[in-house]
Amino acid sequence: MTKFSDLSLDPKVLKAIEETGYETPTPIQAGAIPPALEGKDVLGIAQTGTGKTASFTLPMITLLGRGRARARMPRSLVLAPTRELAAQVAENFDAYAKYTRLTKALLIGGVSFGEQDKLIDKGVDVLIATPGRLLDHFERGKLLLTGVQVMVVDEADRMLDMGFIPDIERIFQLTPFTRQTLFFSATMPPEIERLTSTFLHAPVKIEVARQATTSETITQGVVQFKPSRRDRTASEKRAMLRALIESEGEKFRNAIIFCNRKVDVDIVAKSLKKYGYNAEPIHGDLDQSHRTRTLDGFRDGSIKLLVASDVAARGLDIPNVSHVFNFDVPNHAEDYVHRIGRTGRAGREGTTFMIATPADDKSLAAIETMVKQEIPRIEAPELPASERRSSGKSGEDASDSGSGRSKRSRSVSRRGDSRRAEATTAEEPQTEETASPAEDSQPEPRSGSSRGARSRRGGSREDKNGVVGMGDHVPDFILRSFA
């Protein structure tokens, strides 16, 4: 069995690896590190959670051991799709380069340009950045990429999903033609294949697992339910989510809950907190300091439920996540693999559940086609008695359904009843002596109740000044009987 000591890494790097407790490289590490140390381009394809980050940080630190960075000209560049993934790469670099003199800078949004400029001006060996912030610095004249010796693109398929491919192409063109490129992705859609054929030179392809596969250590399940009414779908899904969490009992330690939309992330997190769960949201609209605090709280266990958009689906290394819940079926089948890959990492066991409604049938079928397996259907857990809205309706809901009338129609009916009552109390009783001749000549009404209403109507048509009043007047069509 291959060990890290067999991979020709710098002794200082090996010492740092030993302190982290790792001895044996993962398959992607064992396959990618040797050609990377030889200076070859590498194309690594592996499912999430297999250790791709160390596959490029370890050889990069070894290769950069000799030499010195110049101001505004980094010697290596690592591109990551999200702030969280970039920050994670920076943490890995700090851990593995602790016994070297290599320097780094992290360029991500939500952080002051001034602080980042100071680091770049001093000169850095490793520049870790998101594409947008990197180009911002370049366009401000604060950065030159002509000294890049090693360029890394991490989670390339996520770059494609987020629309970064034009930025990646531009950054490739700003770096030297002689650079070494390490390219990593979990899947290889056609656009990514085009990118690799354009910018990589005779790459060594390392594929340690079938593309778009899920880890065998993850227990998967999908709950299919039909909401009692379309406008109750979201609330009943939230009740189902709470029931699933409770059904896991002692097996549940913590979980990431994925939603398709940022607005739903906030709603689900707020709902969980309302019911006493320790939950916090994380998505791209939150400022960086908030996102960092939330992730740190989830890692140290002070936060048990992390409700996330797909900004957290790729690359985050939180090793002890016991469960992943897909509150929404992913719109893109590839996202399913990356979402559930947040659990069952590094050989650990994990559990994932997905909540699907009939409207999700096409997306669910696309996921099963991609992973080439049927996701087991599981029986929906029983909801708590206080939340069984999907199986029975409250008194108010039942009355709405039985009458078939909307709130508006009921309010109109009530207004008509009140007007009749006002007309009855305001009118003086009629006698035969005061009845007008016009009324005597009117045709006989169709019912007894209508006859009484017509006899009362005569005295209320005019007020004391002989002017027809709008308040007491009742239109004929309201008083007419249709019996």
pLDDT tier, 348 (very low <50, low <70, confident <90, very high otherwise): confident
| Packed helices 131-139 and 113-122: angle between N→C axes, nearest 10 degrees | 70
User: Helix or strand or coil: residue 384?
Assistant: coil
Range name among 20-24, 171-175, 432-436 with the lowest pLDDT average:
432-436
Residue 453 clears pLDDT 70, i.e. is over it: no
| Packed helices 190-199 and 165-174: angle between N→C axes, nearest 10 degrees | 0
pLDDT of residue 313: 55
Q: Give ∠ CA 197-198-201 in degrees, rounded to 5.
A: 70
| Packed helices 83-96 and 11-20: angle between N→C axes, nearest 10 degrees | 110
User: What mean pLDDT comes out for the span 172-191?
Assistant: 92
CB atoms under 10 Å from CB of 12, counted, come to 18
Handedness of CA 13, 18, 19, 25 (dihedral sign): positive
Tens digits of residue pLDDT in 357-393: 999 999 999 999 988 889 999 998 876 555 554 444 4
Pair of tokens at residue 19:
């302190």
Within 292-407, strands assigned E span: 305-308, 323-326, 350-356
User: What mean pLDDT comes out for the span 219-235?
Assistant: 91
pLDDT of residue 245: 94
According to CATH, the topology of domain 4-207 is Rossmann fold (3.40.50)
CB 34 within 8 A of CB 89: no
pLDDT tier, 473 (very low <50, low <70, confident <90, very high otherwise): low
Range name among 160-174, 222-236, 394-408 with the lowest pLDDT average:
394-408
Tens digits of residue pLDDT in 243-276: 999 999 889 999 999 999 989 999 999 999 999 9
Q: How many residues does the chain have?
A: 483
pLDDT of residue 212: 59
Pair of tokens at residue 58:
């370890």
Pair of tokens at residue 264:
């739903």
* Percent of the chain clearing pLDDT 70 (strictly above): 76
d(CA 337, CA 314): 9
Higher pLDDT: 67 or 15? It is 15
CA 87 and chain centroid, separation: 19
Tens digits of residue pLDDT in 285-295: 888 788 889 98
pLDDT of residue 367: 92
pLDDT of residue 396: 35
d(CA 132, CA 145): 15
pLDDT tier, 333 (very low <50, low <70, confident <90, very high otherwise): confident
pLDDT tier, 209 (very low <50, low <70, confident <90, very high otherwise): low
pLDDT of residue 385: 57
Tens digits of residue pLDDT in 394-422: 333 333 333 344 444 444 444 444 444 44
pLDDT of residue 383: 66
pLDDT of residue 432: 38
Handedness of CA 451, 454, 458, 460 (dihedral sign): positive
Higher pLDDT: 213 or 86? It is 86
Query: On the CB side of 430, how many CA atoms lie within 13 Å of its CA?
Result: 19
CB 382 within 8 A of CB 440: no
Write the DSSP symbol of residue 110: T
Mean pLDDT of the chain: 81
Residue that the structure tokens 């019996």 belong to: 483
According to CATH, the topology of domain 218-400 is Rossmann fold (3.40.50)
Tens digits of residue pLDDT in 16-48: 999 988 889 989 999 999 999 999 999 998 876
Tens digits of residue pLDDT in 118-150: 999 999 999 999 999 999 999 999 999 999 999
Where do the domains of the chain lie? Answer: 4-207, 218-400, 418-479
Pair of tokens at residue 225:
């339910």
* Matching fold, domains 4-207 and 218-400: yes
Type of residue numbered 181: T
Residue that the structure tokens 């109740």 belong to: 449
What residues contact residue 184 under an 8 Å CB cut-off, 6+ apart? 44, 45, 46, 52, 55, 56, 152, 153, 154, 155, 156
CB atoms under 10 Å from CB of 216, counted, come to 10
pLDDT of residue 443: 42
CB 314 within 8 A of CB 158: yes
Residue that the structure tokens 């180009």 belong to: 135
Tell which residue, 167, 165, 197, 166, has the closest CA to residue 181. Answer: 197
Type of residue numbered 82: T
pLDDT tier, 109 (very low <50, low <70, confident <90, very high otherwise): confident
Range name among 84-88, 318-322, 460-464 with the lowest pLDDT average:
460-464
